[in-house]
Structures are given as C-alpha cells and as structure tokens.
Amino acid sequence: MNRPVEASPGPPVALILLGVTVVAYVIQMSSFLGVMRQFALWPLAHDFFAPWQLISYGFLHGGIGHLFFNMFALYMFGLPIERAWGTRRFLIFYFVCMVGAGLVQLIVTALTGAVYPTIGASGAVFGLLLAFGMMYPNSTIMLLIPPIPMKAKWFVIGYGILTLFFGMTGTMSGVAHFAHLGGMLFGFGLILYWGRRDLLRRRP
C-alpha cells in the first residue's frame, strides 16, 4: 500500500483541507446559530438532521483549541500520509473516516436518546493517526501535552484504549469519543481493503 506515487501539482491537499476548515470556522463564528443548525451533525430523529451533515460537521469546531489540535494533527500526520499514498487515496481515506465517525455517532445518539449536535474533524484525524501508526510504527511523536516523545505505535494504541475508556465510562462528557473510535475503525477497514486489493493486483 506504500508504493511510490507521483507528486500532485499544486499544494498538498492536506493543507487545502486545513485552510478550508479554518475558513469554515471563521464563517461559523460569524453566524454561529445558523451554521450550527444547518451544518452540525444532528441526531437522525431531530428536525435539523440532513444527510450532508455527515461531511459538513467535520469542518466546524467548538473553539480555537479544538480547531488548533485537529489542524495540527492534520498537518503533522496528513502530509506524510498524502506523500506516501497520493492525493486521491488520501482524500478518500480522510472522508471515509469522517463519514464513518459520523455514522457511529448517529448510532450512539440513537441508542442513548441523546440530543446534541456533533462537530469537528476529530473522526477523520483519528483515522489519520491510525494510518500513521500503522505505516510508521517506530517513528517518534513528540506530544504537546505532556511534552514527551513516544513511538507512534504506542501512541495510537494508548490513545485508542483511552478513548474507549472515556466513551464507556462517560468521562469527559461533551466529547464524541465513539465517533473518534468510529473514524479509526473505518480507517482500519479501508486500509485492510486496500492492502488486500493491492496484493491481489500484484499476483501474476
């Protein structure tokens, strides 16, 4: 799956996604209630729900800190993944993880009866984090909080377990932990599918 790819003309699409998300945040802050009503991801049974929200919610954020950490992760993990996979495969992966995270969140809200909107690129970012950990398991990641170095594979495993724990226990309410796991799950499934397909293509 890490076969060489030709460089795409123009800026990396990861940086374009970053820029579009920042612009979307500015628009969100200028018309908060209207944007949230139309483009945040609402539960299926809610009057505000619309199918396009499975993508649009990933370009909205709940504050500067939320935006910064997601965009920092997109920059840190997205660029090397895009260089390895190419623009087309990177884009497919990013949006599959985003939509997959949204679908999982819809299931969770339907099962729990919770009524609240979901926003943020975290589901797609968690998918990128998983991909990076699988592609470069022994690369060292310098955490921001706390500022300590850690191998990518341990960071991914630890973050996944911690997110599952938070989701099951209700710790850190207001964070869509299961959506994060959904992004990783759909990303993992897509990586497995691509790996099998590429293997079959290489057979005589």
> Catalytic residues, which ones?
122, 180
Question: Is the Cβ–Cβ distance between 41 and 57 less than 8 Å?
Answer: yes
Question: Is the Cβ–Cβ distance between 142 and 129 less than 8 Å?
Answer: no
Question: Is the Cβ–Cβ distance between 97 and 123 less than 8 Å?
Answer: yes
Distances (CA, A) of 80 to 15, 77, 86, 180: 12, 6, 10, 21
Q: Please name the amino acid found at residue 123.
A: G
- Strand segments, DSSP code E, in 5-109 are none
